[in-house]
Amino acid sequence: DAGITQSPRHKVTETGTPVTLRCHQTENHRYMYWYRQDPGHGLRLIHYSYGVKDTDKGEVSDGYSVSRSKTEDFLLTLESATSSQTSVYFCAISQAVNTEAFFGQGTRLTVV
Amino acid sequence: AQSVTQLGSHVSVSEGALVLLRCNYSSSVPPYLFWYVQYPNQGLQLLLKYTSAATLVKGINGFEAEFKKSETSFHLTKPSAHMSDAAEYFCARAQGNEKLTFGTGTRLTIIP
């Protein structure tokens, strides 16, 4: 993997609790992304960042927020987790918006 | 929104047989196109990419893909399947300021 670390790798949480997933990169790439992967849907973009404190929504952003206070860290927060947010979450990085992205190992989140 | 379509959510081939995974894109202007592979419990790994240079693109692990503008296709092939090729494969596109958009994936099974 291209210097991308996601934490935690697995998490089980209860409905209604807040959850924060962390992505850390050592590649100094400008763009960072959060995707969720669900059977039959492929990967869907939740939010992305194009620089420190610069973020924007993806196609499935409802119920999620993000923050990027440093180039290397991109946090995804579920303010109040719901069962529909049970998924595998992937962080990705890229040097430019329309180039290949490099992916982390994923975080498997279960909301019970 | 522009998209990619992967035909066949599951493909099975015998070991040693030709692998053909199909991907079609929608846009009048050819986008950048990518194939990724995902092994169980791992992130996505870039196999190859098309960025308007050669139409036949060679990737890792013996895979290649041919860009055909007349068919708006970017199918992935490998002459002889190995057991280690069993994985899920994703086609993706990007163009201009458009971020990577993924197909829904094709799960490849290799029959011994």
Residue range A17-63, pLDDT digits in tens: 999 999 999 999 999 999 999 988 889 999 999 999 999 999 999 99
Mean pLDDT of B12-31: 92
CB-CB neighbors (< 8 A) of A33 in chain B = 99-100
Give percent above pLDDT 70 in chain B.
Answer: 99
Distance CA A109, CA A2 (A): 23
CB-CB neighbors (< 8 A) of A45 in chain B = 99-101
Q: Is the dihedral of CA A85, B43, A6, A99 positive or negative?
A: negative
pLDDT of amino acid B1 = 62
Which amino acid appears at position A97 of this protein?
V
- Strand ranges for A1-112 from DSSP E: 4-7, 10-13, 19-25, 31-38, 42-51, 54-57, 64-70, 73-78, 87-94, 102-103, 107-111
pLDDT of amino acid B96 = 81
Q: For B56-59, which contacts have Cβ atoms below 8 Å and span 24 or more sequence positions?
A: B59/B35
| Residue keyed to tokens 């019970």 | A112
Say whether residue A10 is in contact with chain B using an 8 A CB cutoff. no
Say whether residue A97 is in contact with chain B using an 8 A CB cutoff. yes
Mean pLDDT of B93-99: 84
pLDDT of amino acid B54 = 84
8 Å CB contact of A42 and B103: yes
CB-defined contacts A:B, below 8 A: 57
